[in-house]
Structure 1
Amino acid sequence: MEDQLRQSQKMEAVGQLTGGIAHDFNNMLGVVISGLNLIQRRVDRGEPGVHQLIAAATEGAHKAAMLTQRLLAFSRQQPLSPESLDVGRMVQDMSELLRRTLVEHVTLNTVVQSDDGAVLADPSQLENVLVNLAVNARDAMPEGGTLTIETSALLVDQSVAVDHGISPGPYVLIAVRDTGSGMSAEVLERAFEPFFTTKGVGKGTGLGLSQVFGFVKQSGGYVKIDSKLGVGTTISIWLPRHNGPADGARRANSQDVANGKPEELILVVEDEASVRQLTMQMLEDLDYSVISAENGVEGLRILEDRGDVSLLLTDVVMPGMNGREFADAAVELRPDLRVLFTSGYARDAIVRNGIIDPNVQLLQKPATLQALAQKVRLVLDN
């Protein structure tokens, strides 16, 4: 009976998860499809006013992509690119961004210890975690309050480590504390569940805290929530301390689109025809010369005949020879060849335990024109 109960609870959780995905994706894709249909009609009739429709469709597509990334984070299957980071410096560097995320009547305090140490974590994902938690705290303080982000050193002994399912040793603690409405015991118990939210319809996906949970666990850490109704909430993140030089400075996100040169030839290998064609069109729009193949075998034949390919842009998950196997064979054939992988779900071909293999460059799908331009330029110039 206990086994049957557990199975029933598991199936209920799966049903809730898939139902939440279907609901949110339907909303987002509805915006995209409707917008594109209206754009097509107006273009056919020669009418102006398509820019707002394009913007709405693009926003819907971006939200769908973000939902996918949050699902991968929750399932601990997002590819991470960890770096040695000074968390205290990162918090200080992000303070202006976080203040803009808050409203005027919410005060942000940062309390950073100078000797916290470094952590090994993906900087972009850690930034996303802090922004998510700041937004949640803001929403919990509609009448105003104080948000405090504090970092400190923490030493976890063997007994605590066993209780929390982590390794003993030194950690860096990030505590995000608000003076908001707090959580009831029932809400607290379900806080990390995907698609669970106390916000109104259309106000949140319910994936913010589950994304935080997945990222922290995938990074070898621990996260917990302490909350009391009417008093506030503290979310504590423990990340293993890393011995090594740290760079906690927030990286500038350039909005520039770097163009290529016609003499730079890119070989695109992608088994999905529509994705392959769109990728080629974007690269051609960036002034690159482009050729393509639909699988690794065809790609190797092209490389044998063409010695002028500057960059190999290949999907990871393909039938038959996967992208990693193809790239290894291609580099053996052409040792000077630059390689850029692209995938929405990289599995184990270029990722080990959620971490991207060293010296591997990955462009995550779906990619914007700007992201594609920047990544291609980065690989070609280094």
Structure 2
Amino acid sequence: MSQLSLSDGPPDFRFEAVLTVFSRLPGTLIVSFINALLIVLMVGQGSLSANSLAWLICVGIVSVGRGIAAARFRVAADPRSDISFWVRVSVLGAILSGMLWGVGPIFPMTQATSSQWIWAFVIGGSCAGAASLHAAHLPTALGFTIPALLPFALSLLLQGTMQSMAAAAMTFAFLGVTSFTAISFSRDFQRTQLLGATLAARAHELNAANERLKREIGDHKSTSEALYQAQKMEALGSLTGGFAHDFNNILTVIISNLEAILLKSPLHGTRALTTSAIMAAESGADLISRLLAFARKQTLQAQSGDLIRIVEEFRALLLHAVSGDIRIEFDLCPSPAMANIDAAQFQAMLLNLVVNARDALPHGGLIRVTVAVTVLDGDMPGGMDVAPGRFASISVRDDGDGMSPQTIERAFEPFFTTKGEGRGSGLGLAQVYGFARQSGGFARIDSVLGQGTNVTLFIPIVEGEAVVAPAQAVERPAPAARAPLSILLVDDSQAVLSALREGLAEESWTIVSARDALSALDAVGGGGRFDIVITDMDMPGGMGGHALATQLRDDHGLPVLLMSGVPLAADGGAGGFAFIAKPFRKQALVDMVHSVVQRAGR
């Protein structure tokens, strides 16, 4: 497949969107067919009826057809030239697949209530997956979700019972939320593509100017490229941080609602599927935390420490990370290299680099870990707010195949990987980059094809002795009897409010909700009596969660629990208030509420 160069002009957004769909399609189709087989066996109690078998065969035929289309797209010489055809193929495949899932609960299965609940769960999960995986191309995402949900909702509506009509209304609401989410994700994708196109166009203009001035300014081109790369990484970091905050809100809603289903459903199969879905959502939260590391919004417990000693203590684990014909050598400077750093995160980043180097040596070779102290003055990367001075340089070098200049340029970008499908998330080097920047330094890759790769972290040196933070006792809520509480819940997201309100109401608590700080102040000032206020930190308008908490504490003496979709350090600290990061389990929130109320003596 031909690569797009700067001279080709702005990228075709449709091509980038369809490329995203087809690249993710094989794995999606496999999971879809396995789900189809499992649900047929589950509802049919281990046997296949004629109708069930016919439906399953249709699912298989459509899946194979879409898989063939994806394979042909990947081997096409120039798919950009016929992008309208591939758009039609993508949308048609999604519609056929969605229609099959939509008629599934009507055609081959019984009308038993348990069967309908299983179908609702599986179709809902499939639609949520399609909305997230294919949202880059909105017609494909909607082409699956609408045909998949609409027939099921209509069949429930036609049953005429109160329970079926309520389930139909919930299905229609889920269809609206899923469609809105897909539209939002599609807009975010287009904004990202537009940002990349703008940056590429600016880089193209800058390179053209360099060509005209290269006799007068010999090194201007390399400086400009470094500035462009730094600006791109900063822009991607800002975009990633905002995305992570919104996605953590979505995961909060998903986990809360899944916990409610787990609590209320008497069906063993549904409970097992719900537990699996909760684990998947929590895996998504872990993925978001890794994205936040790239965006420099992770929480670091930095303290002064000797990097030489930290590496020495980690040497045994690094040696166990490789095997076979791969050797690791250490070259550590004799003098201490003091830095303000989160030792645990630093060791995780070092292990990440060693594992990457190991994967670059499939036939064996040498990995060299070097820690040295160096002075950087004129060798600072352009566009970064890093002052010249003394740095600890921590490098991991392998003698593998190396990287091309194009790969080096994108190596720190999130989700970019040269490994095969399923062998890497593309977040390893992105985490390393974010950790180095958040620690006050930067990271650099030096590589030549056929000569290996060297990844180096530069961390500012500080003066002082290593310190060890004292162990802190974990505060646990007292086991005394807990009285019902009156809670004011504040969040600008209605979905988050609804999910948390339903979960907390199960504790026999009185819950009052508000969409912004002013509404919360009106609720308190209007005579409402509350034991605690739970508020999101990141709310639009003139007053955020921290300012609201301060006013409620100062004017009314109310205890406040802050929550946010980004880590505490990225919000500038909680200012003495208790804090819980989204997403969280309901029990974690309940325990935190009791702890805050108990400390306040209420």
How far off is 1:235 after superposition? 1.1
- Counterparts in 2 of 1:79-118, with a 5 A limit? 80-81=299-300, 83-86=302-305, 87-92=307-312, 102-105=321-324, 115-118=336-339
2:423 aligned to which of 200, 203, 207: 203
Alignment partner, residue 177 of structure 1: 397
2:553 corresponds to 1:367: no
Which secondary structure does the structure 2 equivalent of 1:192 belong to?
coil
Q: Distance in 2 between matches of 1:230 and 1:64?
A: 36
- What one-letter code is carried by the residue in structure 2 that aligns with 1:322? G
Q: Distance in 2 between matches of 1:37 and 1:109?
A: 55
TM-score w.r.t. the length of structure 2 is 0.47
Q: Distance in 2 between matches of 1:327 and 1:7?
A: 52
- What one-letter code is carried by the residue in structure 2 that aligns with 1:204? G
1:256-298 CA distance string (max 9 Å, x none)? 997876259564322334423444566678x796734223234
1:115-141 CA distance string (max 9 Å, x none)? 11022x456654553343243223223
Alignment partner, residue 297 of structure 2: 78
Alignment partner, residue 342 of structure 1: 564
TM-score w.r.t. the length of structure 1 is 0.69
Alignment partner, residue 437 of structure 2: 217
Alignment partner, residue 237 of structure 1: 457
2:534 corresponds to 1:326: no
Pairs aligned (count): 363
Contact persistence 2:552–2:558 (CA under 8 A): no
CA pair 308-369 structure 1, distance change in 2 beyond 3 A: closer
- Counterparts in 2 of 1:30-109, with a 5 A limit? 40=121, 48-49=268-269, 53-54=273-274, 56-74=276-294, 76=295, 78=297, 80-81=299-300, 83-86=302-305, 87-92=307-312, 102-105=321-324
Contact persistence 1:149–1:176 (CA under 8 A): yes
| Structure 2 gaps, min length 5 | 1-5, 40-116, 123-260
Give percent identity, aligned residues only: 30
CA pair 227-374 structure 1, distance change in 2 beyond 3 A: farther
Select the structure with the greater relative contact order (CA < 8 A; seq sep ≥ 6): 1
- What one-letter code is carried by the residue in structure 1 that aligns with 2:429? L
CA pair 160-191 structure 1, distance change in 2 beyond 3 A: same
- What one-letter code is carried by the residue in structure 1 that aligns with 2:544? N
CA pair 330-168 structure 1, distance change in 2 beyond 3 A: same
- What one-letter code is carried by the residue in structure 1 that aligns with 2:403? M
Contact persistence 2:445–2:455 (CA under 8 A): yes
- Counterparts in 2 of 1:134-149, with a 5 A limit? 134-145=354-365, 147-149=367-369
1:272 aligned to which of 471, 493, 514: 493
Contact persistence 1:31–1:57 (CA under 8 A): no
- What one-letter code is carried by the residue in structure 1 that aligns with 2:337? D
Give the structure with the larger helix fraction.
2
Q: Distance in 1 between matches of 2:311 and 2:592?
A: 26
CA pair 13-192 structure 1, distance change in 2 beyond 3 A: farther
How far off is 1:191 after superposition? 1.7
CA pair 53-162 structure 1, distance change in 2 beyond 3 A: closer
Which secondary structure does the structure 1 equivalent of 2:380 belong to?
helix
- What one-letter code is carried by the residue in structure 2 that aligns with 1:199? K
Q: Which region of structure 1 is more displaced relative to structure 2, 319-328 or 287-296?
A: 287-296
Q: Distance in 1 between matches of 2:336 and 2:479?
A: 44
- Counterparts in 2 of 1:154-165, with a 5 A limit? 154-157=374-377, 159-161=378-380, 165=384
Structure whose CA Rg is larger: 2
Alignment partner, residue 129 of structure 1: 349
Q: Which region of structure 1 is more displaced relative to structure 2, 319-328 or 52-61?
A: 52-61
CA pair 378-46 structure 1, distance change in 2 beyond 3 A: closer
Q: Distance in 1 between matches of 2:346 and 2:21?
A: 24
CA pair 367-319 structure 1, distance change in 2 beyond 3 A: same
How far off is 1:167 after superposition? 0.6
Give the structure with the larger strand fraction.
1
1:215-259 CA distance string (max 9 Å, x none)? 42344312111234455422111122345665568999x9x9978
1:158-206 CA distance string (max 9 Å, x none)? x223768421122222223344443244433332234321111232232
1:25-58 CA distance string (max 9 Å, x none)? 9979x979x7995694799997645676445424
Q: Distance in 1 between matches of 2:316 and 2:556?
A: 47
Q: Distance in 1 between matches of 2:358 and 2:302?
A: 29
Alignment partner, residue 152 of structure 1: 372
| Structure 1 gaps, min length 5 | none
Contact persistence 1:257–1:373 (CA under 8 A): no
Q: Distance in 2 between matches of 1:134 and 1:360?
A: 39
Contact persistence 1:351–1:357 (CA under 8 A): no
Alignment partner, residue 408 of structure 2: 188
